[in-house]
Amino acid sequence: MFNFIIPFMVLILVVVFIHEYGHYYFAKKYGVGVTDFSIGFGKEIFGWNDKSGTRWKICWIPLGGYVKFFGDRNVFSQADQEELLKKYKKEDQEKLFVTKPLYQRSLIVAGGPAANFVLAIFIFLFIYMFIGKDFTSAVIDEVQKESPAEIAGMKKNDIILEIDNTKVDSILDVSKLIAMSTSEYIDFKLSRYDKDIVLKVKPNLVDSEDNLGNKIKKRMIGIRLSPYNNEINHVKLGPGQALIYSLNEVYFVASSSLKYLGSMLAGSGDSSQLGGPIRIAKISGQVAEFGIIPFISMMAYISISLGLINLFPIPMLDGGHLMFYAFEKLLGRPLSQKTQEGFFRIGLFLLLSLMFFATFNDLKDLGLF
């Protein structure tokens, strides 16, 4: 268990710090006073004050963090701005979050998720430039009898070009794209004797284990792959090309995650794979045993997930702030305090339900249910 805790703490500290620093950066840029920059919740373990009066601190519960603005009680809108202004002198009023123009408040709020995406891009950029990216073609070496692949018409020596309209750059992409597919049928674009063909394959959903030994439900089509001409093509990319592939990877992970969540809401997705902090801690410890590159790759994926989730239009998340700002822009005024409080209750219920469900899956994964 101790082997899981340290990697998990490192991962959370980095990802949460980057997220909160995104808020902090834009707040300072637009002259908003910042009183607290906290990693974790609850009682402070240690901290210090900088020259501007911000308290930087680490707290006991390492499941998030926050940036607290000067005089801030409600960052969702300017509903109580007049009442708040009466409590501060002229020079202090300029440091209040609620006095800033709508676009500045929006950038301060969006800065957190944006920072998470930037972190992921930099991680992928580093890997592709200094470690390299695999471009080994995916050739079908074997098609199992009576498998979904054979039924669909796949044959030995077919080269997989695309899966669900996503280009297959590497043999490593195939299992990932199959696993991330959410539709009943998976579209495969293949090259056969220099001719392109498209096949629809209906995968089997089987109980299996991932590379780390964790139980999962896996989509299987019944093929075995091998490198084209048995040649591994691993290339270190230049900055421009590495950036393009980094952006593509972030886009792919974000869009695939949204499709997966959409399939769960529609009732067709596998909700058992949705995990919380316990599962993240377990997997981060397992991945760390494989080395620093797999670990920072996982950090990139977690960072994307954190940025994406925070953009959901749920009150109490960054997306909730932006939703209220959108209403403020459309109506020309902020929503009433009563309306906001109603949204807060709904948001709290949704978040607690999600946390309960994810934690239940985590405990079930550990064999406690």
Distance of CA 260 to the CA centre of its chain: 12
Closest to 120 measured CA to CA, from 312, 319, 302, 317: 302
Closest to 196 measured CA to CA, from 171, 168, 173: 168
**What is the identity of the amino acid at 221?**
I
In the chain, how long is the greatest CA-to-CA distance?
79
Q: What tokens appear for 281 in the block?
A: 């801690």
Catalytic residue among 20, 44, 94, 146: 20
Q: Would you say 129 and 238 are in contact if contact means Cβ atoms under 8 Å apart?
A: yes
Burial call 187-214: b when 16+ CB within 10 Å, e when fewer: ebbbeeeeeeeebebebeeeeeeeeeee
Distance of CA 239 to the CA centre of its chain: 24
Whether 20 is catalytic: yes
Q: Measuring CA to CA, how many Å separate 123 from each of 7, 30, 127, 233, 287?
A: 17, 28, 6, 21, 16
Question: Residue 360: how many CB atoms within 10 A of its CB?
Answer: 15
Distance of CA 86 to the CA centre of its chain: 41
DSSP for 15-77, written as a single string: HHHHHHHHHHHHHHHTT--EEEEEEEEEEEEEEEE-TTS-EEEEEEEEEEEEEEETT-S-TT-
- Collect all residues with Cβ–Cβ distance below 8 Å to 191 and sequence separation of at least 6: 158, 159, 161
DSSP assignment letter at 130:
I
* Size of the chain, expressed as the number of residues it contains: 369
Q: What tokens appear for 25 in the block?
A: 């950066």
H-helix segments, 148-276: 148-152, 171-180, 239-266
Residues annotated catalytic, as ranges: 20
